[in-house]
Structures are given as structure tokens and as C-alpha cells.
Amino acid sequence: MRPPSHFGYSLPLSLLLFCWLTMGVNVAYDGDIFTAYGFPLNWYTPSIISSGGYEIAMVRLIVDLGTYWVLAHLICKALKGLVPTPPKAGRIFQFLLWLSALISLFIGVAAFSIDPHLTFWKLNPPAPHNAAKSYFISLGLQPQPARTHQR
Amino acid sequence: MAVFSETKVGTLFVVEATGNPQMVALTRTSKELFTTFIDREAKRQGLKVAINASFTDLSLWDSVKIAFSNDPLDPSESKPVGEVIEEGKQIAGSSSSGKFYFSQNTCGLDRFSSGQGDPPSSSCGAVGGLAPIVVDGLPYGTTNMYSSGVPPGAPVTGDVDPKYQKYLVQKSNAMFTALEGRGATVGKVAVGYSSAKHKLKLVIEADGDAKGIDAEKVRTMFTIDSMDNAVFMDCSNSATLWFDGKFEVKPSRHKDEYLDVAVGFK
């Protein structure tokens, strides 16, 4: 059975969105600010013990990828009837979507590769309950580098 | 003149120095490998031992460049975290007031200190942006610990209200917790000083060492030796130790291409 045609758009679109758009959370405690990224779950954080390192929670990453795919699928489904696309233009657009998604993914994986530390679920260190949190939208190619914050 | 000794405790390298050791902060200023830079500068300045020090930040594009090329980055492409001070002048880095520093406050005097914030600007040699182990006698760890009689409601981790401060016997710290969470095998570089014994101590574990020890055991190595100030430098596969003309521990190939800051002692 052939999958509906909008799958050809939703898969690369979800990858592209995953690579470029996410949510960040700053947690302030111990006189410092620590940042984690991911939507709906934080799945990576720049390492605070190693230059260029990242902590990556694999299950959270998979949950986020799945969420992005569902959202991208819904977007494509909603747009399908609204935007008429000639077949040739559709194929070119699909190709460009895949190309940009794969390039973005490739760059992201390369940046993570300097010193990655993979975990199953937990991102270390866990924030204390009394820590102040602020959320923001992170638009830009992931991973975001560690930022040196101070209060 | 300072007397240095190097011993191996299991797979750890332990360097101790007594007799007025002098600290020198080193920053890479040309496009060369970190280890090439340390070897040359340590010999030129007559150092006995040198280790990697502050963290180094990279932009996303420089991370990608490092991942694919075998060339060292130009120092202008990487950014040390925390101030690096040599003879009262900031020679590299930026303010990192939430993290910790290790400093030799006065040239010629073997008094080393640590604290939260940027190092004193008049330091003889200092590096900032570090993780605490013991600061002015107060040990750091994964949780806050209090003496008996502490009022209820004292936080287990994170910031401590002034009303609980006098009961505090161990302070939690995120960097310490993150390092403890990585377990015994992750590379570690630590330096401490005992003002009672006038002794400097360095503990270095290579990354991936299956017989290594965790952060809490490293802390114990400092506290049982009456070290009142000790900090972790950049850890994991950044760990580097040069002793008496040769490398005992080298950083990963990627880190060798862009780390910038080292400290040495003579």
C-alpha cells in the first residue's frame, strides 16, 4: 500500500523543523544559568563539564522527533487542499526540502560529535525544585552552543 | 625552589609540589595544536608540570570545522570561558561570575585561593570558569548538607537562604553534580592547595579510564590531604597532563585542535 503523497513532504519538513526550531529553558541557580533545549521535552544540554560537549537524552529525542513528525504531517495535510501544486514543481520542492533537511541534520550531528554523552532519559544535572525557569523559542540550527551566562 | 613529585595512584596521576611553586597561565596565540603549544611553552618557561585549564567555547560552524578537519583552529575562532590572568593582566577569556576560579594571588608567595566569581584582577596567575571541589574549606557536592539543628525547609540542592547558611557543611553545585553523574570513567583534571601544609596537588585521570574514580572520590583525595581550596578544570576528553617534558595524558584529537588555556607550575 502506498502512503499518502503528503508523507514525502511531512518527513523532511519534520526533520527541518526539528533541526531549526525548538524551545529552550534557562534554569537559574547556584549563581549561574543552565540551558536545555527541546520540544516538547528537553533532549539536549550543552555540557557544563567539558568544552564542546553535549548531554543527549535519547528517549526524549525520539519523543520530540515523533511529535515534530505528527505536527509536520498535520501541517501538510491541512495545506494539501489549500495550495495547488503542479506535479513537477511538487517534485522539485520535495527534493529541496529533503536536501535542506539532510544537510541540516548532517551539520547538527557533526557538531554533536566532538564530545557527546548519551543518556537514556535523564539530562544531568537535574534542576532544583526552587530554581527559577524561563522558557524561550530557539530559532537557529541546532545544537545551540553553550552560552556563558551569569546572573 | 619548588619540589615536584609525580605518582600513579591506580590509574590516576597525582602531582604534588611543595617549596613555593609558582603558577603560570598559558594561552594559545597561534594556529597550532594545544599539545604542541603546551610542550613548547612549558619548556620555554621552565615549567615542571602543565595541565589544561579553562573551558573553551566554539560557534556551531567552528564545531563543524573541528569535526571534519585535521587542522587546529586559529585562537580567534575559539573563546575561553572565564578570565585568564597572568601577572595582573587579563590575557584571555571573559567574565564568568557564576563559576569558580583558582588563583595564585601574589607572585612569589605560594598562597593559592579559589572562590566563586571572576579571579582577582591583580592575581599573579589565575583562571576562571571552573567547577568547585572545596572552597575556603567548604566542600562542594551533589547536595546541600547541614549540621544538626538546621531549621526545617532547608533546600537539598540549589541556592541556600541566609537563614540556613550557618548550618551548611556541604554546598551543592551543578557542575560537580554533572561530573559525578558521568561516573568514574570520565576524564578529570583537578588542582588544589593546602594552606596548612603549603602543598599544591594535581589529580588527573585520562578520559575513558575504566579504573578511574568519580568526582566524590577525587574530592576525598583533596579533603583528606587538608586541601582548603580545590577546583575541577575542563574535564572529559579535554584532560591533559604534561610532566617533566612529556605528556602523560593527552586530549582527544578534536580537543587538541582548539583548546586554548593551560596552567603550569614551576
Complex-level ipTM = 0.88
Chain B, nearest residue to A131 by Cα: B158
Burial class of residue B243, CB neighbours in 10 A (0-12, 13-18, 19+):
buried
Mean pLDDT of A11-39: 92
Which element (helix H / strand E) includes B48?
A: none
pLDDT in tens, B79-123: 999 999 999 999 999 999 889 999 999 888 878 999 999 999 999
Give the HSE-up count for residue B79: Cα atoms under 13 Å, Cβ half-sphere. Answer: 14
pLDDT in tens, B151-187: 999 999 999 999 999 999 999 999 999 999 999 999 9
DSSP string, A44-59: EEE-SSSTTEEEEEHH
pLDDT in tens, B186-240: 999 999 999 999 999 999 999 998 889 999 999 999 999 999 999 999 999 999 9
Nearest CB to B175; choose among A49, A147, A151: A49
B98–A130 CB contact, under 8 Å:
no
Size of interface A-B (CB pairs under 8 A): 134
pLDDT recorded at residue A5:
62
Model confidence, pTM: 0.91
Residues of B in contact with A37 (CB under 8 A): none
Question: Running DSSP on this structure, what letter comes out for residue B47?
Answer: -
B181–A125 CB contact, under 8 Å:
yes
Q: Please, what is the average pLDDT of chain B?
A: 94
Tell me how close the Cα of B25 comes to any Cα of chain A, in angstroms: 18
Which phi and psi (to 5°) does residue B189 adopt? -135, 120
Domain ranges of chain A: 8-139
Residues of B in contact with A117 (CB under 8 A): 182, 236
